[in-house]
Amino acid sequence: MSSFDGKVVLVTGGAGGQGESHARRFIAEGAHVVITDIADDKGRALAESLGDKATYMHHDVSSEDEWKAVIDAIDKKHGKLDVLINNAGLYKPASIADTDYSSLRLTIDINQVGVFLGMKFSADLLAKSGSGSIINVSSLAGLRGFPNAIAYVGTKWAVRGMTKTAAAELAGNNIRVNSIHPGFIDTVMLEENDPSVNKEGQETTPLKRLGTPGEITDLVVFLASDQSSYITGAEVAIDGGLSV
């Protein structure tokens, strides 16, 4: 029997990319998966393709009301939540001079506020499981600076700090909270970069290649499982050695 049989997993930003990979794997492992996103057509199609154990909900992670609605729906349907994967994110590279307040605010609202709201509104339901796990998707950019990415870098450092605070605060309810820090991963997000940035990133990565969404999912599944039961407050780089 899979260790995720009967467990309930919420994946934000789950309609594509790394989130889609996570959703597919947890379904294969026997979990009930709630996929949330603002890409409704893709999200619904994905949930339908995954069968009865997958559910899709529209979800703007920067909205308190929409977080409440998602958590209430999970509570009514399942009565608990075992795993929260705060995966939704926004990346729009720009120099300091070219970053206007509205784009900075939007990045903060999605990448930082979205993670905060997820932890805030899911904590009680995670506590019902008796062994909840939160995985916050930060980035290599949450471990070091990058030019032309001040908004993204700032929010991913914030995710790292909030993770450690939440790990200390929620441990009393047996909820573990960890952050993961992917490097250059082969998803559509890389299309936001100038090709020269991706080329340099791959060349300077010690393993000399891009990571795959499946490799990120392997880490997420481990941190969600009982095999990582004594790991909380950790920041785990998964970047081919680029942060070394």
55-110 pLDDT tens trace: 999 999 999 999 999 999 999 999 999 999 999 999 999 999 999 999 999 999 99
In a domain, 242, yes or no: no
In a domain, 2, yes or no: no
Mean pLDDT for 122-150 is 96
Other CB atoms within a 10 A radius of the CB of residue 95 amount to 10
In 156-214, where do the E strands start and end?
A: 176-182
Here the CATH number for the domain that contains residue 51 is 3.40.50.720
Q: What is the CA 196 to chain-centroid distance, rounded? A: 26
Question: Taking the CA atoms of the chain, what radius of gyration do you get in angstroms?
Answer: 17
Annotation marks residue 152 as catalytic: yes
For the cut 80, the answer to whether the pLDDT of residue 2 exceeds it is no
In a domain, 137, yes or no: yes
Per-residue pLDDT band for 127 (boundaries 50, 70, 90) equals very high
In a domain, 241, yes or no: no
pLDDT of residue 210: 94
Domain range for 137 is 8-236
Give how many domains the chain has, as a whole number: 1
Of the candidates 56, 91, 101, 152, the residue annotated as catalytic is: 152
pLDDT of residue 189: 83
- Distance of alpha carbon 131 from alpha carbon 71, whole angstroms: 17
**Residues 6 or more apart from 86 whose CB is under 8 A from it?**
12, 61, 114, 115, 118, 119, 134, 135, 136, 137, 159
Instruction: Find residue 57's DSSP bridge partners.
Output: 36
Classify residue 20 as left (phi > 0), alpha (psi -120 to 50) or beta: alpha
Contact status, residue 9 vs residue 50, Cβ threshold 8 Å: no
- CB crowding 198-230: b at 16 or more within 10 Å, else e: beebbeebeeeebbebebbbebbbebbbeebee
pLDDT of residue 1: 41
Q: What is the pTM of this model?
A: 0.96
In a domain, 243, yes or no: no
pLDDT of residue 190: 87
